[in-house]
Structure 1
Amino acid sequence: MPVVARVDPKTIFTSAEWGRLTSRSSLRGMWLVLHAWGTIIAAIALVTLWPNPLTWLIAVTVVGARQLGLAILMHEAAHGGIHANKAINEWGGQWLCAVPVGADLASYRSYHLQHHKFTQQPEDPDLSLSAPFPITKESFYRKAIRDLTGQTFLKQRRPLFLSLFKRSSADDRISHDSFLSGGADKMARFLGLNVLMFVLFWLAGAGVWFWAVWVLAMATWLPLVTRIRNIAEHACTSTGEDPFSHARTTLANPIERLLIAPYWVNYHAEHHLFMYLPCYRLPEAHRLLVERGLIKRMEVKPGYLEVMRLATSKA
């Protein structure tokens, strides 16, 4: 199995720069988790106080993007980036980030590290996400319609729900499909926590918005932005030997960061080159790579629209 070549950061950064890039703040890591939930609460409060089609649409898209944000922060916890204390990192990554959106930190970590080890190689468990690209615009539109109409959500969640009624098997495997995999215990945690959330919504006088915003966002906008994120990260990138070319960085604007790419997930090339950098250090890593002239070896796009043009360029 060919393991992806690693980049020695000492050949790129000074000791002071590398020390700054790798420095982690437990306070900042937990603040990101609070920020995600604070944004969700603010969006739901907006539509609760001023219920109309516009505020409802804003709430659904913002909440769906923050649900992706929770998955991204689960990913951060998988790399130990939420808190320096391992127990707090694991608890926060699991119960505050993974479980609310139906994921599991431990199983995700095991799967995800294989993706880093064999990025864009035949053994990469995520290779099937990028291999079909480019596709036609019509093919993407069909997928987007399935996402926005809840069909993708039902396809992904139905096996998880059915797992409640069967015994777990040694053959159960981690899936790259979104960030989900089978398991009755995981589905039970997901349902239990969401029941608790519904009770809290109801006590706050926003019970209807649990279904009309939180669940609807998870069934529609979350699958779509997860698909776009997956496409942007590796579709139409190199499968060659140069590790600088295996992932893509997308220079997201503020609207894209709000609705598609929260918490610096758009700096994916930098994350693959130096996977243990905290997510909030990735913009600085990008700036330093630009200064060193190494950005020429990397796949960088000026925005998600440009990425989607490339990914749907098949005639």
Structure 2
Amino acid sequence: MAAAARLDPKDYFTPEEWAPISTRSWWKGPAMITHAWATIIAAGAMVVVWPLTLPLAVMIIGARQLGLAILMHDAAHGALHKNLKLNDFMGEWLTPGGLRRYRPYHLSHHRFAQQSEDPDLVLSAPFPITRLSLRRKMIRDLTGQTFFKQRFGSFVARLKARKAGEPLAPIVFAEIKAKRRWLAFGALVTAAGAPFGLWWLWPVLWVLPQATWLPLVTRLRNIAEHACIAVNEPDPMRQARTTRAGVIERLLIAPYYVNYHCEHHMFMHVPCYNLPRAHRILARKGYAERMLIEPKGYRQVLALASSKA
């Protein structure tokens, strides 16, 4: 199995430049997690006061749910906190979780980035597709079909495949066990809100964004990062794409510097909050011309990904 080529930071940064870029902060990771949860709570409070703002809140909360997943991703690289025990604790318990399972899988993606052995290649290989096909995918995301398939597809398959006469209870119990953390969070939020008439907080302000906007922005993120890049691309500067993101895109689509994906693959242990600085230094030195960068933003990436006739 041929691993993707690696870059040596010494070839691109002076020691004085590299030291602050590679340094893990003791406070920035926790601050970003606090920001994500505070934004979710603020968006929820906005709906309680002004119910007509629900569509906007769904987009804001869904983007912060993606943001929490991005911060868990940073924890998988040991970049969320300089203390690795705290790094893993925050990545596992202050985000949607799954860090222990995600880390080996994701590091394999980096080891074989855009090579035939890349476990994430299935996400980018189909592109470009037609505009109609992309539209259908986005509709499935926004209508909850993608969420249902990802969350409950295996459960439905087990129900269909169960042998005649096999008791249903073990299958249901296994599904509850697999989703116990998600259900426990829902029970906690519901119990906290019910005495105030806010029993609907979890289904409306967590599950609804999770079932609609989150799948859509996750798809946009996957497309922007690796779609329309050749399989077995040898150049480490072109195995992932950096996409320009304005204020609205950072709020609703690309939180916590996730758009700097080329720099992330070039130097995967750099904390996400230092990627803009790395980008500026590389651009100043003329390396941006060699890197895969989309300066026109996510709209242009979608146009490229849906350019098949």
1:45 equivalenced with 2:48 (yes/no): no
Query: CA separation of 1:85/1:297 partners in 2, compared to 1, >3 Å: closer, same or farther?
Result: same
Query: CA separation of 1:195/1:290 partners in 2, compared to 1, >3 Å: closer, same or farther?
Result: same
1:275 equivalenced with 2:268 (yes/no): yes
Does the 8 Å CA contact 1:161/1:184 hold for their aligned counterparts?
no
Q: Note the C-alpha offset of 1:24.
A: 1.2
Does the 8 Å CA contact 2:58/2:208 hold for their aligned counterparts?
yes
CA distance in 2, matches of 1:32, 1:201: 25
Aligned to 2:67: 69
Q: Note the C-alpha offset of 1:147.
A: 0.6
Percent of residue pairs identical: 54
TM-score (normalizing by structure 1) = 0.89
CA distance in 1, matches of 2:290, 2:175: 41
Does the 8 Å CA contact 2:189/2:201 hold for their aligned counterparts?
no
Aligned to 1:2: 2
Provide the alpha-carbon RMSD of the alignment.
2.0
Bigger drift between 287-296 and 248-257 goes to 287-296
Larger Rg over CA atoms: 2
Q: Deviations over 1:79-117 (max 9, x none)?
A: 112222222221211111123xxxx11000010000000
Aligned to 1:234: 226
Could you tell me which runs of 5 or more consecutive residues in structure 2 were left unpaired when the two chains were aligned. 159-168
Aligned to 1:88: 86
Aligned to 2:188: 196
CA distance in 1, matches of 2:151, 2:241: 29
Aligned to 1:171: none
Bigger drift between 194-203 and 89-98 goes to 194-203
Aligned to 2:165: none
Query: CA separation of 1:127/1:297 partners in 2, compared to 1, >3 Å: closer, same or farther?
Result: same
Q: Give the 4+ runs in structure 1 shifted more than 3 A.
A: 159-168, 182-186, 201-206
Q: Note the C-alpha offset of 1:203.
A: 4.8
Could you tell me which runs of 5 or more consecutive residues in structure 1 were left unpaired when the two chains were aligned. 169-181
Does the 8 Å CA contact 2:190/2:200 hold for their aligned counterparts?
no
CA distance in 1, matches of 2:155, 2:72: 22
Aligned residue identity for 1:123: E
Bigger drift between 302-311 and 186-195 goes to 186-195
Aligned residue identity for 2:91: G
Query: CA separation of 1:247/1:75 partners in 2, compared to 1, >3 Å: closer, same or farther?
Result: same
Aligned residue identity for 1:106: R
CA distance in 1, matches of 2:248, 2:233: 33
CA distance in 2, matches of 1:208, 1:157: 20
Query: CA separation of 1:204/1:116 partners in 2, compared to 1, >3 Å: closer, same or farther?
Result: farther
Bigger drift between 89-98 and 227-236 goes to 89-98
CA distance in 2, matches of 1:126, 1:298: 21
Does the 8 Å CA contact 2:186/2:202 hold for their aligned counterparts?
no
Bigger drift between 130-139 and 294-303 goes to 294-303
Aligned residue identity for 1:6: R
CA distance in 1, matches of 2:247, 2:195: 34
Q: Note the C-alpha offset of 1:193.
A: 2.2
Aligned to 2:210: 218
Aligned to 1:125: 119
CA distance in 2, matches of 1:183, 1:18: 47
Q: Note the C-alpha offset of 1:219.
A: 0.5
Aligned residue identity for 1:295: A
CA distance in 1, matches of 2:81, 2:61: 24
Q: Note the C-alpha offset of 1:191.
A: 1.6
Q: Note the C-alpha offset of 1:12.
A: 0.6
Aligned to 1:143: 137
